[in-house]
Amino acid sequence: MSLRIRNFEEYTQVYKKSVDQPEEFWAEIAENFKWQKKWDKVLDWDFRKADTKWFSNAKLNITENCIDRHLEKLGDQPAIIWEPNDPEEHYRRITYKELHAKVSQVGTMLKNNGVKKGDRVCIYMPMVPELAFAVLACARIGAIHSVVFGGFSAQSIADRIQDAQCEVVITADGGFRGTKDVPLKNVIDDALVQCPSVGRVIVLTRSRTPVSMIKGRDCWWEDEIKKVETMGNPECVAEPMDAEDELFILYTSGSTGKPKGVVHTCGGYMVCTGYTFANVFQYEPGEVFFCTADIGWITGHSYLMYGALLQGATTLMFEGVPTWPDAGRFWEIVDKYKVNILYTAPTAIRSLMGFGDEPLKGKDLSSLTKLGSVGEPINEEAWNWFNEKIGKGKCPIVDTWWQTETGGIMISPLAGITPTKPGHATLPLPGIQPCLVDENGLEIEGNGVSGNLCIKFPWPGIIRTTYGDHERCRTTYFSTYDNKYFTGDGCSRDEDGYYRITGRVDDVINVSGHRIGTAEVENAINMHADVIESAVVGYPHDIKGQGIYAYVILGSSLHDHDLTRRDILQTVTRIIGAIAKPDKIQFVSGLPKTRSGKIMRRILRKVAEGETENLGDTTTLLDPAVVDEIKAGAL
Ligand code: WT7
């Protein structure tokens, strides 16, 4: 069976087969990749133990599939086009041949610095091609990459480095984003005070901002590359990896505790991202694919990099931000490189929509053939604007639902094949078996229903474990409903069987398509010396989708409230990063708690949404009077 479905009838047939004979289905998909040795068994699974194994005992290296196997036919085609933050700086085009040479070189550099198969490497870099080289070089030599988004604080990086016990960090002096020069190496230096496991830091020069270089620990990327050149650039062989060897760790927030290290493995993740990229985007040879996500998030991992490269695509990597030097930057990039497929987030669409038609003037968007949306529910207004102003009514929009834990796209139209409806992720991909369950865990059959979204059968991209704590993986995803993977999302299925994701049903806020745990933000706020207690909820935000609303009880603070508010924001920035800063902070004297001490977030959510009537039953509260105070002070 070929990888790609060509029409809706075929979709229906293939979908049916994938449910009737899932193992045969996935085995046939897997035949489209290069294996050094085939599997003994397609699938072993036990959801009750959170155990899934795909393609047991198969051997492969994902970089051979992303790079080497394309060299003969596509060697001179650009693999990566890089657009710098500053439009005046020269862009870069890296062909598949060049990518092969670069990844080999960086792989050897990592080996020279003591990195071995199975070692964890933390990557904290700006969106420059060397970031992609570093990630792929880890995969080449069998090291496990843990990319941390450049917006996270030193404390967040330290937590992630410690959790994974990383030995090596790859970073840059600094990075450019819009008018900002982000001091990456300084942040790493602060983080490493707490990280004795790290023996080596490799620093790429990008901004050439002054940095401290510690003897014996820190070295320059460029010097290390020179050493590889002096060795005569030996070919870095692709390490044979077991299908279930770990490929990477990516941290993501949940409703409790610190972020979890989601683990993906080599074989299944490769099959999942390559297959979904080809089908969802209906990628045609030669097309330019522009995914606007940062490689620090799963979308950047799975589609900007792995999925696109697995299909021999040309992938566009953009260092900057959509609104600098002006709000026409995306459209200028589409015009400049004749982008065919644009994959972005509703929050970006809504923000650019706000600038009106002016930024679109003089930009030729006629190269676009397909559009994609990811990360959060897309409202109808944004969908229509995207469709009309950007797609000119002729580009199918794929609203792709998936998660860090799913590895790849799960529910989405196939571009130009599945009839679309604004706001609907539509239908599951073949191989994916979603279901809706009620609060008793019973599956809700039929159409025109809603419930909590689960997946009842494994797929190759499923999370394998949470790094260092398998029990946490089991309780988080596999214990809420028996024998099902629970997504944490609410969802409806309409009369046509189309799925519409309505948002998280747990204590996770989706801010601009990024997951933030309320508990994490509360912990950060509570670190402020004047704070006694806090409660954080999400509320609808015109651009970000959801904003962060914090209710804070202060101790006997002598400070001005506005200053304290700013100090709290600074504290959160220090502990997590600027992305977790509350949009609103309301000081309160108490929180609505039940007699057993549980905060009634339902009430806080309603008030944050601007609802002051219909707060539901408040009679079980310890002190119902706090509700009146909270309502009166609502921001
Ligand atoms: C959560 C996953 C998937 C990569 C980016 C985010 C929400 C994601 C959609 C969509 C409605 C969506 C869900 C999901 N979400 N895509 N098309 N429609 N909601 O990855 O950080 O792991 O977050 O994002 O709530 O659970 P993530």
Nearest CA to 239 out of 144, 140, 143, 306 is that of 140
Burial class (CB in 10 A: 0-12, 13-18, 19+), 373: buried
Task: Assess whether the C-beta atom of 375 lies below 6 angstroms from ligand 1.
Answer: yes
Which among 463, 501, 579 is the best mutation to test ligand 1's pocket, defined by most ligand atoms within 8 Å of the CB? 501
The SS3 of residue 176 is: strand
Indicate if ligand 1 lies below 6 Å from the C-beta of 400. yes
Q: State which amino acid sits at residue 323.
A: T
Structure tokens at 172: 């840059």
Confidence band, pLDDT 50/70/90 cuts, at residue 619: confident
- Shortest-distance atom of ligand 1 to CA 299: 4
Domains and CATH numbers, the chain: 508-632 (3.30.300.30)
Ligand 1 centroid to Cα of residue 298, in Å, is 10
Output the six-digit token pair for 274.
């390559």
CA 515 to centroid of ligand 1, rounded, Å: 8
401 pocket-lining for ligand 1 (C-beta < 6 Å): yes
Q: How far is the CA of 293 from the centre of ligand 1 (A)?
A: 13
Q: How far apart are CA 567 and CA 552, in angstroms?
A: 13
Does 344 contact ligand 1 (Cβ within 6 A)?
no
450-489 pLDDT per residue, tens: 999 999 999 999 999 999 999 999 999 999 999 999 999 9
Q: What is the pLDDT of residues 420-434, one digit of tens each?
A: 999 999 999 999 999
Whether the predicted pLDDT of 493 surpasses 80? yes
- The reply to whether ligand 1 has any atom less than 6 angstroms from the CB of 376 is yes
- Is pLDDT of 558 > 80? no
Contacts of 392 (CB under 8 A, 6+ apart): 365, 366, 368
- Ligand 1 centre distance from Cα of residue 311 (Å): 23
User: For residue 556, is pLDDT > 90?
Assistant: no
Query: What pLDDT does residue 151 have?
Result: 92
pLDDT, one tens digit per residue, over 191-216 is 999 999 999 999 999 999 999 999 99
Tens digit of each residue's pLDDT (9 = 90 or more) over 257-279:
889 999 999 999 999 999 999 99
User: What distance in angstroms lies between residue 504's CA and the mean position of ligand 1's atoms?
Assistant: 9
E-only strand ranges, 140-199: 144-147, 168-172, 175-177, 180-182
Residue ranges of alpha helices (H) inside 113-153 are 129-141
Residues 141 and 117 sit within 8 Å (Cβ to Cβ) = yes
What pLDDT score was predicted for residue 274? Answer: 98
Are the CB atoms for 449 and 493 separated by under 8 Å? yes
What does the pLDDT read at residue 255?
A: 84
Average pLDDT value for the chain? 96
Which of 477, 536, 480, 482 has the alpha carbon at shortest distance from 511? 536
Residue 553 host element (H or E): strand 545-554
Cα-to-centroid distance, 259 and ligand 1 (Å)? 16
pLDDT mean over 586-591: 95
Which numbered atom of ligand 1 lies nearest the CA of 515?
A: 21
Q: Given ligand 1 and candidates 305, 374, 397, 398, which is best to mutate, with the most ligand atoms within 8 Å of its CB?
A: 374
* Closest to 516 (Cα-Cα) out of 359, 297, 300, 223: 297
Residue 547 near residue 518, CB atoms below 8 Å: no
Is residue 566 scored above 90 in pLDDT?
yes
Say how far apart CA 348 and CA 290 lie, in whole Å.
14
The pLDDT assigned to 615 comes to: 80
**Residue to mutate (ligand 1; options 304, 343, 376, 411; most atoms within 8 A of CB):** 376
Q: Whose CA is nearest to atom 8 of ligand 1?
A: 375
Least Cα distance to 399 among 370, 430, 374 occurs for 374
- In angstroms, the first-to-last Cα distance of the chain is 57
C-alpha of residue 545 to centroid of ligand 1, in Å: 12
Å from CA of 118 to ligand 1 middle? 29
What share of the chain in percent tops pLDDT 90?
Answer: 94
Element (H, E) at 258: none
For residue 465, the Cα-to-chain-centroid distance in whole angstroms is 17
Query: Mean pLDDT over residues 132-141, rounded?
Result: 99
Sequence-separated (6 or more) residues with CB below 8 Å from residue 520: 253, 258, 259, 576, 580
From the CB of 424, is ligand 1 less than 6 Å away? Answer: no
- The residues, any chain, with a CB within 8 Å of residue 75's CB and separated by 6 or more, are 95, 96, 97
Percent of the chain residues past pLDDT 70, beyond the cut? 100
Question: What are the strands, taking DSSP E only, across 205-361?
Answer: 218-220, 241-242, 246-252, 260-265, 288-291, 314-318, 341-344
Contact 456, 484 (CB under 8 A): yes
Measuring from atom 11 of ligand 1, which residue has the nearest CA?
377
Residue nearest to atom 24 of ligand 1 (CA): 375
For residue range 519-554, what is the model confidence (pLDDT) as tens digits? 999 999 999 999 999 999 999 999 999 999 999 999
Which candidate, 175, 142, 452, places its Cα nearest to that of 294? 175
Four-CA torsion 275, 280, 284, 289, nearest 10 degrees: -100
Please answer whether residues 333 and 83 qualify as being in contact, where contact means their C-beta atoms are separated by less than 8 angstroms: yes
- Closest ligand 1 atom, CA of 503? 25
- Ligand 1 binding pocket includes 510 (Cβ within 6 Å): yes
pLDDT band of residue 1 (cuts 50, 70, 90) is low
pTM: 0.97
Q: What is the pLDDT of residue 287?
A: 98
Give tens-digit pLDDT for 27-46. Answer: 999 999 999 999 999 999 99
